[in-house]
Amino acid sequence: MAKTVMIVDDSASLRQVVGIALRGAGYEVIEGCDGKDALSKLNGQKVHLVISDVNMPNMDGITFVKNLKQIPAYKFTPVIMLTTESQEGKKQEGQAAGARAWVVKPFQPAQMLAAVSKLVMP
Amino acid sequence: MELDQALQTFIVESRELLEAMEESLLGLESSPDDHDAINAIFRAAHTIKGSGGLFGLDGIVAFTHVVENVLDRVRSGEVPINGDLIALLLSCRDYIGMLVDQIAADSAAQPDKETEATGIMLLNQLRTYQAGEKKQSPISATAQSQPRMAVVPPPDGTVESDHWHISLRFGHDVLRNGMDPLAFIRYLDNMGKIIHVVTLPDAMPLAPDMDPESCYLGFEIDFHGDGVDKTTIEGVFEFVRDDCTLRILPPHSRIEEYTRLINELPEDKIHLGELLVNSGSLTRKELDEALHLQQILRAEYSQEAAPKLGDILVEQRVVQPELVDAALGKQKLAKENKAQESKLIRIQADKLDQLINLVGEMVIAGAATSLLAQRTCDPALHEATSTLSRLVEEIRDSALQLRMVQIGETFNRFNRVVRDVSKDLGKDIGLSICGAETELDKSVVEKIGDPLMHLVRNSMDHGIEKAEVRRQRGKPAKGTVHLNAYHESGSIVVEVGDDGGGLNREKIFAKALEKGLITASQNLSDVEVYGLIFEAWFSTAEQVTNLSGRGVGMDVVRRNIEALRGTVEIDSREGIGTTVKIRLPLTLAIIDGFLMGVGSASYVVPLDMVMECIELDEAERRESRESNYINLRGTVLPFIRLRDHFRERSKVSRRENIVVVQYAGQKAGLVVDELMGEFQTVIKPLGKLFGNLKGISGSTILGSGEVALILDVPALIQRAASRDAQLLACSQAEQIVA
């Protein structure tokens, strides 16, 4: 059974490209355009990995991960956060929220794929 | 194409974002404190940059990165928002819009010159707001993170008994953090081949104590990967690095390679850890951990009892002991080199000169004190002054030693010269060096370089024959130039020799005649004839090469050497080779002299040149009054009466002595009244007025304050020998007449 990955980012094009890369590798992908949207879309659905941007409107990435980890079904779900070099402080906040993996923006699709497959095999 | 669609989405999205950005910027003009607006602008730039990177739109990424940075500073309040900044940001917005439009028209298009110029101008303006910019550009950040992420090509399936060994102990929280240990191991398998995995459940507690959400497992993995390095393997566990203990031990076959790498590293790295990290056998993270551990251990034990870094690394099983040994060896070498460097102090030459001058004055003052002490006949004072003068002597030697350098460095420069010149000449010539450790005064070493260069080139050009000629003469095809240096009776001899054709006596003689340097009737020894080549404009080479043969040079060589109070002579045997001997004084400032008295005057000769002193008894005095030579144990010893030579008019003393001196293989006697023994001589140059005085090379001051002349022994020997020859010629002529 294919593993499901959720990508949460306010950029539709980023979601699209990551989606193409992950689907090509055999993952199923669901998208969320911000934290709020992602939480409502998940709604108890099984996901194996969540990729989330930090900076988003409505609900930012850190708050989103904090909320996500409160839901028992997603307690053990690995999270990859997307950061920029200038967000060292955010990294600590993210770690406190429960995220362990980081990918620095901007990245190439292959880099994202490598990071994902370290955590979840398709 | 799906990706094309995605790009279209990007373009539409970017335009929307840019419009929102414009709106917010305009809004800021009326209400500059609107935080939501500032956030929206920042997010727009941030999103465009992030998405642009995915499509590899480096132009947009690089530009937006700077905009984002400035906006970040605005957001944090470091940069106040004002009309100028809003205007600039609006231009930037337009510029990004232009870049997006270009991509919309043709996704592969590069911005034209005009667009580029606008971009650069805007970037320059932005920079003024961007004080704390990090050095890393987004591009380099990408490049840096790439190797970590790079997917390693799958192995070709070859099986080897030699494997990486990876020890993994996961932390209890790893599952709670959403990390699946198995996923990493599977990923590792993608990079190569996992040969063997041992799961270690040892940490598992009894069932009642076990927390199903905790991870208790450890793994020992044998892994084979082609072209995989330690950093790559560590990169696999990047996301759990903080939650697990990881030990990666390279395969044994790698040890050799790492050892080689360690040895090839530049020697300036002196830290063991740095050496290992640079060779790739240790990762930065492993080093940091080991150093941290060492810190803790140091706090526990005393400073000395704490284990060494190498031991910690081996104990932690991150490197093999062999590699630590190799790195330690290298470290020792580097340390030694550093120690050698630190042994040397650079000081200004004139400071040394001043010191030596002062030492000279001290020697004179010391001599005066000794003299006074002797006169007072106070044994205690006498004792004290003799200790003092011994110390002064040692200080003198040490001070002079400071100026001494080995000639080896000067000699070694010729390796390159010989190599290059032999290539130019098309001859096969090697260089052999002897006596490189011979020391001489720094100022002499500096000045001897040019004459040596000339002599070496001469030897190579004129001395050593072409290979075919050499073979005909039964010599090895490869010619050799010798450089040699050694000490000989108070002077240093530097030899430049070759195993070439030697000088042609007849040719030189004929040439000298032609130039009018000599007359046909002159009876010259070999050395004298060879010496003619040092005359100006003298060249016997039929062809002038670009190296030598123009007849300038050899006379310059002689002049340079004479300026150093040295002499030069040539020894040559036709068909076998030529050796040029340069004889130079050992030091130029203070010497051990031998003091002697004639009448009321005192004279000094360098002690190194004194062979022996003999008393001239009454019989010999009478016998030698006319002849000026004596029979010294069966050999003829010509001598000079200093009394006559310097026209000393005082009463002839009852006893006379002969001081036998030697220079350059020749001996002569100096007849003096009194022998006063060894004397530390500070050489004071004679004034210009006495510059041309023959037989005197300088003066010195005695303890009593009197002046003593230093005799120029080579000149005196020359004189004695030539007068000897003249006398011989005269007596022969008399015989013929008779």
pLDDT in tens, B1-35: 567 888 888 888 888 888 888 888 888 877 877 88
Comparing B276 with B214, the larger pLDDT belongs to B214
Sheet containing B610-616: order of strands: B610-616, B656-663, B666-672, B635-641, B629-632
CB contact under 8 A, A75 and B176: yes
Comparing B711 with B156, the larger pLDDT belongs to B711
pLDDT band of B483, cuts 50, 70, 90: very high
Using an 8 Å CB-CB cutoff, list chain B residues near A46. Answer: none
Residue of A nearest to B179 (CA): A78
CB contact under 8 A, B243 and A100: yes
**What whole-number distance in Å separates Cα of residue B50 and Cα of residue B587?**
75
A78 vs B9, B134, B178: nearest CB: B178
Rg (CA), chain B: 44
CB contact under 8 A, B142 and A16: no
**What whole-number distance in Å separates Cα of residue B687 and Cα of residue B701?**
14
Task: Please state whether the peptide bond connecting residue B585 to the residue before it is cis, i.e. omega within 30 degrees of 0.
Answer: no
Please report the pLDDT score of residue B495 as a whole number.
92
Q: Assess whether pLDDT exceeds 50 at residue B551.
A: no
CB contact under 8 A, A106 and B178: no
Q: Where would I find the H helices in B55-213?
A: 58-75, 83-105, 113-127, 138-149, 181-191
Q: Assess whether pLDDT exceeds 70 at residue A110.
A: yes
Highest-confidence segment of B132-136, B157-161, B244-248, B252-256: B244-248
Q: Assess whether pLDDT exceeds 70 at residue B662.
A: yes
pLDDT tens per residue, range B225-270: 777 788 888 888 888 877 788 878 777 766 777 777 776 665 555 6
- B659 near B613, Cβ under 8 Å? yes
pLDDT band of B684, cuts 50, 70, 90: confident
Closest C-alpha among B464, B454, B423, B482 to residue B548? B454
Using an 8 Å CB-CB cutoff, list chain A residues near B242. Answer: 100
pLDDT band of B733, cuts 50, 70, 90: low
Using an 8 Å CB-CB cutoff, list chain B residues near A104. Answer: 141-142, 145
> Is residue B638 packed enough to be buried (19+ CB in 10 Å), middle (13-18) or exposed (0-12)?
buried
CB contact under 8 A, A100 and B50: no
Q: Assess whether pLDDT exceeds 70 at residue A23.
A: yes
pLDDT band of B150, cuts 50, 70, 90: very low
Using an 8 Å CB-CB cutoff, list chain A residues near B59. Answer: none
Residue of A nearest to B186 (CA): A121
Residue of B nearest to A109 (CA): B54
pLDDT band of B727, cuts 50, 70, 90: low
Measured between CA atoms, how close is A36 to chain B, in angstroms?
17
Q: Identity (one letter) of the amino acid at B396?
A: R
**What whole-number distance in Å separates Cα of residue B140 and Cα of residue B438?**
55
Q: Assess whether pLDDT exceeds 80 at residue B628.
A: no
Percent of chain B predicted with pLDDT > 70: 84
Please report the pLDDT score of residue B644 as a whole number.
82
**What whole-number distance in Å separates Cα of residue B506 and Cα of residue B518?**
13
Please report the pLDDT score of residue B51 as a whole number.
84
**What whole-number distance in Å separates Cα of residue B413 and Cα of residue B313?**
44
Comparing B685 with B132, the larger pLDDT belongs to B685
Note the maximum CA span of chain A. Answer: 38
Using an 8 Å CB-CB cutoff, list chain A residues near B7. Answer: 13
pLDDT band of B484, cuts 50, 70, 90: very high
Say whether the ipTM exceeds 0.90: no
Closest C-alpha among A85, A2, A94 to residue A49? A2
- B403 near B441, Cβ under 8 Å? yes
CB contact under 8 A, B56 and A12: no
Q: Assess whether pLDDT exceeds 60 at residue B134.
A: no
Residue burial B714-723, b: 16+ Cβ < 10 Å; e: rest: bbbbbbbeee
Please report the pLDDT score of residue B108 as a whole number.
66
Name the interface residues of A facing B (CB cutoff 8 Å): 9-14, 16-18, 20, 53, 55-57, 75-79, 82, 84-86, 98, 100-102, 104-111, 113-115, 117-121
- B479 near B552, Cβ under 8 Å? no
| For residues B604-633, average pLDDT | 80
Q: Beta partners for B218?
A: B169, B200
The residue written with tokens 């990876």 in the block is B166
**What whole-number distance in Å separates Cα of residue A83 and Cα of residue A92?**
12
pLDDT tens per residue, range B405-436: 888 888 888 888 888 888 888 888 888 888 88
Closest C-alpha among B721, B686, B399 to residue B565? B686
A11 vs B47, B186, B240: nearest CB: B47
| For residues B687-706, average pLDDT | 78
Percent of chain A predicted with pLDDT > 90: 11
Highest-confidence segment of B64-73, B276-285, B523-532: B64-73
| For residues A58-73, average pLDDT | 88
Distances (CA, A) of B549 to A58, B454, B514, B532, B546: 92, 11, 17, 15, 8
Is residue B369 classed as helix, strand or coil in its secondary structure? Answer: helix
CB contact under 8 A, A85 and B136: yes
Closest C-alpha among A82, A30, A61 to residue B51? A82
Measured between CA atoms, how close is B111 to chain A, in angstroms?
20
- Residues 6 or more apart whose Cβ sits within 8 Å of residue B733: none
The alpha carbon torsion through B393, B395, B397, B403 (nearest 10 deg) reads -150
CB contact under 8 A, A120 and B145: no
CB contact under 8 A, B145 and A111: yes
Structure-token pair, residue B102: 């270009």
Please report the pLDDT score of residue B133 as a whole number.
42
Residue of A nearest to B149 (CA): A111
Using an 8 Å CB-CB cutoff, list chain B residues near A119. Answer: 178-180, 183-184, 239
- A13 near B13, Cβ under 8 Å? yes
B178 vs A55, A76, A114: nearest CB: A76
Q: Assess whether pLDDT exceeds 60 at residue B555.
A: yes
Using an 8 Å CB-CB cutoff, list chain A residues near B177. Answer: 78, 98, 100
Q: Assess whether pLDDT exceeds 60 at residue A67.
A: yes
Please report the pLDDT score of residue B135 as a whole number.
38
Across B16-30, B543-557, B684-698, least confident range: B543-557
**What whole-number distance in Å separates Cα of residue B373 and Cα of residue B696?**
31
In the predicted model, what is the mean pLDDT of chain B? 78
Across B106-110, B366-370, B724-728, least confident range: B724-728
Q: How many CA atoms lie within 13 A of B629 on its CB side?
A: 20
Closest C-alpha among B465, B150, B549, B338 to residue A108? B150
Measured between CA atoms, how close is B238 to chain A, in angstroms?
8
pLDDT tens per residue, range B576-592: 888 999 988 776 667 78
CB pairs below 8 Å between A and B: how many?
141
| For residues B43-49, average pLDDT | 85
Residue of B nearest to A9 (CA): B47
CB contact under 8 A, A14 and B149: no
Please report the pLDDT score of residue B730 as a whole number.
59
Q: Assess whether pLDDT exceeds 80 at residue B549.
A: no
- Residues 6 or more apart whose Cβ sits within 8 Å of residue B132: B73, B78
CB contact under 8 A, A16 and B9: yes
CB contact under 8 A, B142 and A120: no
Comparing B639 with B688, the larger pLDDT belongs to B639
For B605, other C-beta atoms within 10 Å of its C-beta total 25
Q: Where would I find the H helices in B129-283?
A: 138-149, 181-191, 230-236, 252-264, 272-279
Q: List the domains of chain A with CATH numbers.
A: 4-119 (3.40.50.2300)
Q: Assess whether pLDDT exceeds 60 at residue B138.
A: no
Structure-token pair, residue B506: 């007849």
pLDDT band of A50, cuts 50, 70, 90: very high
pLDDT band of B550, cuts 50, 70, 90: very low
| For residues B44-68, average pLDDT | 84
Closest C-alpha among B389, B390, B407, B404 to residue B356? B404
Phi, psi (rounded to 5 degrees) for B564: -95, 15
pTM (global) more than 0.90: no
Residue of A nearest to B16 (CA): A11
Comparing B407 with B299, the larger pLDDT belongs to B407
A13 vs B9, B72, B151: nearest CB: B9
**What whole-number distance in Å separates Cα of residue B217 and Cα of residue B705?**
95
Using an 8 Å CB-CB cutoff, list chain A residues near B2. Answer: 16, 20
Please report the pLDDT score of residue B156 as a whole number.
37
